Amino acid sequence: MTSASSISPVVVITGASSGIGRATALAFAEQGARLVLAARREPELEAVARSCRELGAQAVVAPADVSSAEDVQRLASQAAQAFGHIDVWINNAGVLHFGRVDETPTEVLDRVLSVNLSGALYGSRAALAHFRRRGRGTLINTGSVLGLVGQPFAAAYIASKFGVRGLSEALRQEVHDQPDIHVCTVMPAAIDTAAYQRAANYMGREMLPIRLLYPPEAVARVCVKLWKRPRREAFAGPAFGLVTATGKALAPALSEWVTEVAARTMEVGSAPRDASEGNLWRPSSDGLDENGGWRRRFARRTPPLTLLGLGLGLGVAGAFALSRTLGNRNAAVTPAA
Ligand SMILES: NC(=O)c1ccc[n+]([C@@H]2O[C@H](COP(=O)([O-])OP(=O)(O)OC[C@H]3O[C@@H](n4cnc5c(N)ncnc54)[C@H](OP(=O)(O)O)[C@@H]3O)[C@@H](O)[C@H]2O)c1
């Protein structure tokens, strides 16, 4: 039985001008949804709305900065005015930063938390107030696999994604008395979007995603599934998500070590970069709204054998670290002679 409350759902999506949010808008348009699309860039939102209409959906745009509680409240009012009610609210807007925490300006760290975590909190608050009045609705918060396990050089981003997961968990408990209100977290693996090019960067080097990339449409499909059949949490890029979750549960120290090595070896590029605040305060119109072009770039530069070698290298290093972890654990319980 599906929990979807309406055949033609009214869906609010933040961060809909680009990447995952754009793909999610198009996926819901294919379901005949009525869409309210939010982000800061109005022309890019209009372009997404046009594509949604070409698929037969209704779509309106509502420019908003999610770090402003007033903007988010206005977004909820605009959605209710446009279509009478809201069925699904997706907090997807997000920004990224790179840099060691002590080398990153405090205001950059604050801004990442404000957009990613406060933005999701304001959106959740507005959505749940509306859902309570109606007695139904589905809230989807966009976390990340990096809300399960940390990674160096993006401390505020990681904290925000651990926070989003906790936010959803707390809100599920708050709406426990409301059987038709659902709170879900979608946790994407690495996705081929321009988030990496647009990130604030204080590393002095170009930063890249890891090589195991999924297209934004993979996350969009999971969001549609969550509307049809809500679940507490869902991975987008399930193999990657399950390996991460299992590794974290069974061998937390090892899993931290593996993600650290993966970040250090795959994400830190060699090309020099000046310090930049990226798109944190001012949106970037770089023509990369469909995807980041990373899979094309890596397919050209990374032959399959290199990937295989990298995978094997990580596997061997992981096995070595596991044996050390187990060895240390045994040593800790062996009584002194
Ligand atoms: N790409 C990945 O590997 C990955 C992995 C896991 C999770 N995620 C999460 O997925 C979400 C979408 O990211 P993406 O990869 O699709 O990146 P993206 O292509 O850069 O999209 C980010 C979206 O957020 C919007 N946005 C940024 N700041 C905003 C603000 N202050 N107010 C309103 N909208 C704002 C951007 O539009 P404007 O610039 O027009 O405002 C854009 O539509 C983020 O929450 C991200 O953390 C991404």
- The model's pLDDT over 29-56, given as tens digits with 9 standing for 90+, comes to 999 999 999 999 999 999 999 999 999 9
Q: With the CA atoms of 30, 194, 48 and 55 taken in that order, what torsion angle do they form, in degrees rounded to the nearest 10?
A: -20
Q: Which CATH architecture has domain 10-331?
A: 3-Layer(aba) Sandwich (3.40)
Atom of ligand 1 nearest to the CA of 284: 39
11 alpha carbon, distance to own chain's centre:
18
Catalytic residue among 157, 196, 202, 214: 157
197 Cβ inside 6 Å of ligand 1: no
User: Is 318's pLDDT higher than 70?
Assistant: no
Tokens of 130: 């509306």
Element (H, E) at 59: strand 58-61
Centroid of ligand 1 to alpha carbon of 189 (angstroms):
14
Residue with structure tokens 């032959």? 303
In this predicted model, what pLDDT tens digit does every residue of 173-202 receive, in sequence order?
A: 999 999 999 999 999 999 999 999 999 999
272-314, pLDDT tens digit by residue? Answer: 999 999 999 999 999 999 999 999 999 986 555 455 555 554 5
pLDDT at 23: 98
Measured CA distances, 79 to 198, 218, 263, 312 (Å)? 28, 26, 40, 50
DSSP state of 279: T
Q: Cα–chain-centroid distance for residue 8? A: 25
Q: Can you tell me which residue has the tokens 């957009």?
A: 115
pLDDT digits over 52-102, tens only?
A: 999 999 999 999 999 999 999 999 999 999 999 999 999 999 999 999 999
Tell which wins on pLDDT, 214 or 335. Answer: 214
Protein residue closest via CA to atom 47 of ligand 1:
94
pLDDT at residue 317 greater than cutoff 80: no
> pLDDT band for position 333 (50/70/90)?
very low
The yes-or-no verdict on residue 120 having pLDDT over 90 is yes
Per-residue pLDDT band at 155 (split at 50, 70, 90): very high
CA of 261 to the centre of ligand 1 (A): 25
Q: Ligand 1: which atom is nearest the Cα of residue 219? A: 10
Structure tokens at 227: 């509307």
- What is the pLDDT, as a whole number, of residue 7? 81
Assigned token pair, 10: 């009214």
Mean pLDDT over 238-249 rounds to: 94
The three-state secondary structure class of 127 is: helix
In this prediction, residue 273 carries a pLDDT of 97
Kindly give the distance from the C-alpha atom of residue 194 to the centroid of ligand 1, in angstroms, as a whole number. Answer: 9
Ligand 1 atom closest to the Cα of residue 196 is 1
Q: With CA atoms as reference, report the closest residue to 90 among 69, 72, 78.
A: 72
**Mean pLDDT, all residues of the chain:** 91
Q: Is 114 in the pocket of ligand 1 (CB under 6 A)?
A: no
Ligand 1: atom nearest CA of 209 is: 3
Residue 214 annotated among the catalytic residues of the structure = no
How much of the chain is in helix, strand and coil states, percent to nearest 5? 55, 15, 30
Q: 15 CA to middle of ligand 1, Å? A: 5
What token pair was written down for 250?
Answer: 């069974």
Q: How large a percentage of the chain has pLDDT more than 90?
A: 86
Closest CA to 20 of 234, 289, 251: 289
Relative to beta strand 58-61, strand 268-272 is unpaired
Spell out the domain ranges in the chain. Answer: 10-331
Global pTM? Answer: 0.92
Residue 144 near ligand 1, beta carbon < 6 Å: yes
